[in-house]
Chains A and B, each alone.
Chain A
Amino acid sequence: MHYSPPPMHIPDGFLSLMISIICWVISAAVIGLAISKTNKSLGEKQIPLMGVMAAFIFAAQMINFPVAGGTSGHLLGGALAAIVLGPWAGMLVMTAVIATQALLFQDGGLVVMGANLLNMGLVTAAIGYGFYRFALNQAKPIKLSVIGVSAWLSVMAGALLTSLELWLSGASDLKVVVPAMLGVHALIGLGEALITVSAVTFILQTRPDLLAAGSESAKGSRAWIYVGGLIALIVVTLSPLASADPDGLNRVAMDLGFIDTAQSASGPLAGYVVPFLASASASKIAAGAFGALVVGAVAFLIGRGIKAKPQA
């Protein structure tokens, strides 16, 4: 077949069981929330729609355009799915796509699927929709450039998450994997941004009603702006940090108990003073703050879901 996967699917065996389980828990919580949200707002009509849309994303990933030297630009589709279908439906569609790629084609593993869902489906959709929601009522040129930025960022976020998971599993060296993944995906993200922007432009010209006020796409909560913005902020601050100061991150991961000293990818750290996190207490604070941020974001998402339920 002509199907060629975007190069981010982690196969089984590369992530440690603990990282796989953590990713599964986060993904399952978000997907569960997405199911309860879509069940509420959409009728049974939405199910065939989402199924066909999932097939659309799958098929759209086959569309490519030649760039240079035999390489070609591709679509991942997370941002596009969230923009045209709304955030929750977009997440479910991406979940179905990634699950099918793993089940049917062995693109990406089964036990690590939680990580793949998180990297390629959920985070991409959250960033894509958050930015889009922010620019929803702006003039068209602003809206389109914001969409472009969000599509690029969504790919970068997926790449960063992928490399962090690999590193925390002890399958890759932080110093190399982050710059390498981000470098490659900076280009892939450009392709993603260009295709997403021109696809949305095309839809705005031919069927503006699908994206107009009152459509599923425009109904998403304003909270998405904060969720998408927060994830993007983490990506933007963590990427340079991971590239410029991998030892600092290694230290944080060790303090959190993700990797033990013997496994540390950066070699013996004994007597080594990390410039950014000079003391153990400072690095614990940083680790704690990061953990609190993540837990807070998850709690916020779940809290919103529970609060909104009684209206159903």
Chain B
Amino acid sequence: MHFDAFDRYHEKNSLVHRLDPRVKAALTVIFIVSNALLPDGAWSAFGAAWLFLLAANYYSQLGAGYTFKRSLIALPFALVAITILFSMPGQALVSFRLFFWNLTITDLGLLRFVSILIRSWLSVQAAILLVATTRFPDLIHALEHLKVPAVLTTIIAFLYRYLFVLTDEVFRLLRARESRSAAVPGNRSGGGVLWRAKVAGNLAGQLFLRSYERSDRIYNAMIARGYSGRLYTLNPHELKSGDYFVMAFGLLFIVMLQAIGRF
């Protein structure tokens, strides 16, 4: 497996790509907070927030609809919010029977449900754009500048570095299980659910030992190369005047969003 198999980064030389990762990370988080603060049914503010995303997409040279295409990943979670359709007090819109439940959709319920979905959909797009325009190591480095403890960012950096290695290891284990699980047509292979769970557990245990022993070798190799507990980067982050400008503009826009949503 290639080292960037999990990466969602898209190499481009755009305005958004060149922005300091700190600015991008901070603006993304503030944008998501602002979405959470917008009241239910603030349609014009939701619309303006989407225009903001479209513009950011455009300036990232990924195509105006880039994040839109990938934004449906959080949709399955909408299932948990469906109950709000029926349980909020308010004017009844539609009533129907489902098996043995009498369900009534209320106007306030619908308003809340749709608002939750829109907030979530806007927020996930901002996060998608952030990782599509920022290299993951740069993002981690930015987090360190934003006062996330170095222990955590270093662990995350190692996780990212070895994820594809251990994923290869998992695929080897899974392939070995497959190749030992032949079945006569018409007969199921292997034992019952308990037995299968035990095999899966053994795989997890085996993976643990291989990872554990690998981490020993990694540590020794790093010591040999002068590791002293810190990771260094060749991409020093410097805030330029453009970064300040974009940050100020973004903040101003988000304040405006709140104003639109509330008045």
Interface residues in chain A, defined as those with a beta carbon under 8 Å from any beta carbon in chain B: 1-3, 7, 9-17, 20, 31-32, 35, 38-39, 44-45, 47-56, 58-60, 62-68, 73, 75, 80, 84, 92-93, 95-97, 99-100, 102-107, 109-111, 163, 166, 170-173, 175-177, 180-181, 191, 194-203, 206-207, 210, 262-268
- Asked if B211 is at the interface (CB within 8 A of a chain A CB), the reply is yes
- Asked if B18 is at the interface (CB within 8 A of a chain A CB), the reply is no
Please report the total number of B residues contacting A with Cβ < 8 Å: 86
Determine whether the beta carbon of B127 is less than 8 Å from that of A109.
yes
Could you say which of B36, B88, B202, B212 contacts A20, with CB atoms under 8 Å apart? B36
Also in contact, A103 and B119, with CB within 8 A (given A17-B33, A44-B229, A75-B204): no
Determine whether the beta carbon of B87 is less than 8 Å from that of A265.
yes
Grouping DSSP codes into helix (H, G, I), strand (E, B) and loop, the A interface class, with mixed when no group exceeds half, is: helix
Closest to B28 in A: A110
Grouping DSSP codes into helix (H, G, I), strand (E, B) and loop, the B interface class, with mixed when no group exceeds half, is: helix
Question: Cα distance A55–B210 when bound, in Å?
Answer: 12
Also in contact, A202 and B205, with CB within 8 A (given A45-B219, A56-B166): yes
Could you say which of A63, A102, A267 contacts B170, with CB atoms under 8 Å apart? A63
Name which of B55-63, B76-84, B236-244 contacts chain A: B76-84
- Asked if B199 is at the interface (CB within 8 A of a chain A CB), the reply is yes
Determine whether the beta carbon of A10 is less than 8 Å from that of B77.
yes
Closest to B228 in A: A44
Question: Cα distance A268–B87 when bound, in Å?
Answer: 11
25 residue pairs A–B, Cβ–Cβ below 8 Å: A9-B77, A10-B77, A13-B35, A35-B151, A44-B228, A44-B229, A47-B229, A48-B215, A48-B218, A56-B212, A59-B166, A59-B167, A63-B173, A92-B152, A103-B139, A104-B8, A109-B124, A171-B81, A173-B84, A173-B86, A181-B80, A191-B197, A195-B197, A198-B200, A207-B209
| Residues from 1 to 16 in B contacting A, C-beta threshold 8 Å | 5-8
Question: Cα distance A180–B161 when bound, in Å?
Answer: 38
